[in-house]
Structure 1
Amino acid sequence: MASSSSAYVQAEAFPDGVTEYVPLRNKKYDMRKPHITEQPITLKNWYQHVNWLNTTFIIFVPLMGTVSAYWVPLHMKTAIFAVAYYYFAGLGITAGYHRLWAHTSYKASLPLRIFLAAGGAAAVEGSARWWSRDHRAHHRYTDTEKDPYSVRKGLLYSHIGWMVMKQNPRRIGRTDISDLNEDPVVVWQHRNYLKSVIVMALVVPTLACGLLWGDFLGGFIYGGILRIFFIQQATFCVNSLAHWLGDQPFDDRNSPRDHVITAFVTLGEGYHNFHHEFPSDFRNAIEWWQYDPTKWAIWIWKQMGLAYNLKTFPQNEIEKGRLQQLQKKLDQKRTTLDWGIPLENLPVVSWDDFVAESKNGKAWVAIAGVIHDVGKFIADHPGGKALISAAVGKDATAIFNGGVYDHSNAAHNLLSTMRVGVLRGGCEVEIWKRAQSENKDVAAINDSTGQRIVRAGTQATRVTQPVASADAA
């Protein structure tokens, strides 16, 4: 506890230009007062650790709606309305809370901001100000103790646990929300959050279904309570499933991942690895075939004059990140393969010892200054036993590189796994060594794991054929 507290003090003292979070609704709250989370959970105080407001909206109300649905029939018109209202509330979160206010990936006109704030209230996931503040902390401190819904604390915690249990606001990473405090729509919704929720999440669907086709109760249960439950669980998947399920095509140092299932559940928010790498981009999906209705909604609003300044990250930088991650995966794959003993780790053998060992029964062949034991391969040699046996105890550099047959890339790779030594001398060997040392274009390249990269045609045994000169007159 002491170490975490001291770490917090150090972070707080860092002059990063970020001001401390100031509550707008409860101004009597003292940030210096000890928080309940600093006390262990016991049988006597467990109820103080529970965020009862969130628990009521996230657990108790959905349970009530689920039980009530047993007696309330679902009419087709109400079902269609519930789905439509689901998308309205969903866009309030994805296009409003997330991409507009948390990441400022585009700008919206006043009517659109009001529309999105209303939709966010209908989703019942906190105010835009509170939601965006925590989400900025999540991006700034991903997978750390200052991440308000870090998946490192468990899948269930990142999905719902962080909402139903109280969090110490002093332990959440500090972020700058001065821009949100200057948005009158955000401030009004924050200060009138409970009223907004009751009206948009429950009253509107109840009245809409009741006044239009007489299904007041169905509108309340299906258009209100159960719709709230589904959209909450879908959105929470961005914090849990999107950090657990899928691929990491841009960076794998943190937990965010891309997966089409999460995208379908969250109106396009499932391409989370891309989003964490390029958070200021108004898109989550950059390929035409990827599902991201939120992106298209923002684009349509732009055509209507409701949205502007849509931000996209330079494609060149996106491709850099993709390529670097591919290189990293290649490096990891390369470490699992046998590339032969590195030349610098092989023993140095004189030409006379090489010849003597070959006469004493070892099937040693010298190619480009490297000694190879081909004994186990003689029977499998595609050219026949006689041809490879004839090269034992000899310098077969020319034979292997076109004198008899210009061997394939696969043959050079296989040969590298048979290395047993490096020759100290030898006529053709010395000529090759001198040619290699004088070639200034030849340079060893290592991957991120420190292993040498051997590309096709750059094997030590591959010798470039001499350029043919003009025939004598």
Structure 2
Amino acid sequence: MTFTTEETSDFDTSMYYIPKPLDLPISTEKQSLSSPQPKMTAAEEEEDFIKNNYVAKTLLAIPELPAITWSNWYTQIDWVKVIVLYSEPFIGIYGVFTTRFVWQTTVFAIVYGLLTGLAITAGYHRLFAHRAYQASLLLRYILVTLGAGAMQGSVKWWARGHRAHHRYTDTDLDPYSAHRGLFHSHIGWLMFISNRNCADTDTADLDNDKTVQWQFKYLTVLNIFMGYIVPVFICGLGWNDYRGGYFFAGALRLFLIHHATFCVNSLAHYLGDAPFDDRHTPRDHFITALVTLGEGYHNFHHEFPSDYRNALEWYQYDPTKWAIWLFEKLGLATNLKRFSKNEIQKGRYGMMQKALNRFGKTIVWPKDNAMLPIISFEEYQELASKDDGRQLILISGFVHDVSNFIDTHPGGRALLKSRIGKDATVAFHGGVQNHSTAAHNTLAMMRVAICKYGGEVEHLKKRLGHDFTPTPILT
């Protein structure tokens, strides 16, 4: 695990996870890191792959569910989840059109929605699923209690599924794999009965957490009490709006929180870019962050999951990160984990390099040196003196055919003509004009040969300070 803690003052270059070197002599002999493997048949290779690949082995051991047809579709649906999830929008919409708006209820619904939402993002997600920080016993009880008010199952169930999602991202063991479509990753995975549990996912820490076990034991009571009774009675006893408390602070709030959380599984794997790694589907986007209380910088999160931040930059929207920071200032949280900046920069560098490589493939480059003939300086002079229409100039050890360029040379035809058959290295590198990078790149496209030993005036180029210019010195 490569992370540092908030208490460490320097995150720029220090890497605290580098091990101490072994006190052993370094061998100067070249060694192969892999031993030769015996040749296998295709069938043996497939068998060996399955034996050593947990995902493939597990999938083979799981019986396939029957295909969904018109005659059996109702047996494949998790009716409890479907009724709960699909009744919420209808109840909420009915309440909007039949219930008067009370500003106190509106404010409370927003505040209570933020609190129960943060209990999921800061509690279920970053604390319990990823252990991105340590929380006091009081804070843990607050988070599991408010989290029950979001009605998203128990901490243990939620975190177990989420750990499986990270461990098996985009495979068939990922509970909400984006490769199975936007609908499946958003809500479909909850609607249909699965024949797979969360595979090999370690939840021993949650089994030993008394706050998690307390919530699991009283989950149904906590769901009803925090999900509906609390908002109804606060709005009712506070300003006599029991109905608004049920429809707005209860049903409509739950509908919005549920789908905001679902967007982390769906939208965050479709919308945005991948500044740290593009091998998997997670993406970073401000809109997703806005919808999910800061969980939208998902590419960063999947690369550095135990970092308490989702948004790396201070200006990126991540209220969950700010809430955890506030918990620390209040003495309720400690050991806020942050990955080393050096490791984060490696991810950025890798993606920038990929982008450069893709861009480079759109460019026509000069011929590789290995594709050019090698001639002596005397042979170059002889070729240049022939009356065959070629105009050959030697610059920096390369022979260039400037026949198609001489008439458009910005410095004039005469200047190039006077260097035909000569070494024009010094003139090109500042003796007459210190040419631009674009001129260097254009000239390189005209290479037709390499001059053995570089030419006659390499020492003059060095005297003018241009010895850094790459020149082939071949023997």
Which bin holds the TM-score, normalised by the shorter protein? 0.7 to 0.9
2:145 aligned residue (118, 124, 140): 118
User: Which aligned pairs between 1:359-370 and structure 2 lie closer than 5 A?
Assistant: 359-370=387-398
After superposition, where does 1:10-49 map in structure 2 within 5 Å? 11=54, 38-49=65-76
Contact 1:413 1:459 in 2 (8 A): no
Counterpart amino acid of 2:119? G
Task: Map residues 43-442 of structure 1 onto 2, 5 A cutoff.
Answer: 43-170=70-197, 172-349=198-375, 351-352=378-379, 355-356=382-383, 359-424=387-452, 427-428=455-456
For 2:314 and 2:454, the matched residues in 1 are separated by 61
- 2: distance between equivalents of 1:79 and 1:70? 15
C-alpha displacement at 1:9, in angstroms? Answer: 9.9
- The higher relative CO (CA closer than 8 Å, separation ≥ 6) is in 2
Change (3 A) 1:166 1:422: same
Scaled by the length of structure 2, the TM-score of the pair is 0.81
1:335-390 deviations in Å (ceiling 9; x for gaps)? 32222111112234565376436531022322223222223322332211211222
Listed one character per residue, the Cα deviations across residues 11-68 of structure 1 (whole Å, up to 9, x for unaligned) are 2899xxxxx9xxxxxxxxxxxx987x62111222211211212212221232232233
State how many pairs are aligned.
417
Mark the CA change 1:71 to 1:380 in structure 2 (over 3 Å): closer, same or farther.
same
**Which is worse superposed, 244-253 or 187-196?**
187-196
Cα distance between partner residues in 2 of 1:233 and 1:427: 71
TM-score (ref. length: structure 1): 0.81
Secondary structure of 1:359's partner? coil
Give the equivalent residue in structure 1 for 2:31: none
Task: Tell me how far apart the structure 1 counterparts of residues 167 and 161 of structure 2 sit (CA, whole Å).
Answer: 10
Aligned counterpart, 2:25: none
Contact (CA 8 Å) 2:380, 2:451: kept in 1 or not? no
- SS at structure 1 position matched to 2:399: strand
Return 5+ residue gaps in structure 1 as ranges.
Answer: 15-19, 21-32, 436-441, 443-456, 463-473
Offset of 1:427 from its aligned partner?
4.7
Query: How far did 1:218 drift?
Result: 1.0
Provide the C-alpha distance between the structure 1 equivalents of 2:233 and 2:79, rounded to a whole number of angstroms. Answer: 28
Q: Quick one: distance in 2 between partners of 1:332 and 1:138? A: 30
After superposition, the Cα gap between the structure-2 partners of 1:8 and 1:66, relative to the gap in structure 1 and judged at 3 Å, is: farther
Q: From the superposition, tell whether residues 57 and 7 of structure 1 become closer, same or farther in structure 2 (CA, over 3 Å).
A: farther
Is the 8 Å Cα contact of residues 367 and 461 (structure 1) preserved in structure 2?
no
Partners of 1:361 and 1:378 in 2: how far apart?
A: 12
One-letter amino acid matched to 2:396: A
1:413/1:173 CA distance change after superposition, 3 Å: farther
| Kept in 1: contact 2:367–2:445 (CA 8 A) | yes
Shift of 1:10: 5.9
Describe the superposition over 1:214-234 as per-residue Cα deviations: whole angstroms up to 9, x where unpaired: 111111111111111111111
CA distance in 2, matches of 1:413, 1:9: 50
Change (3 A) 1:424 1:301: closer
8 Å CA contact 2:396, 2:469 repeated in 1? no
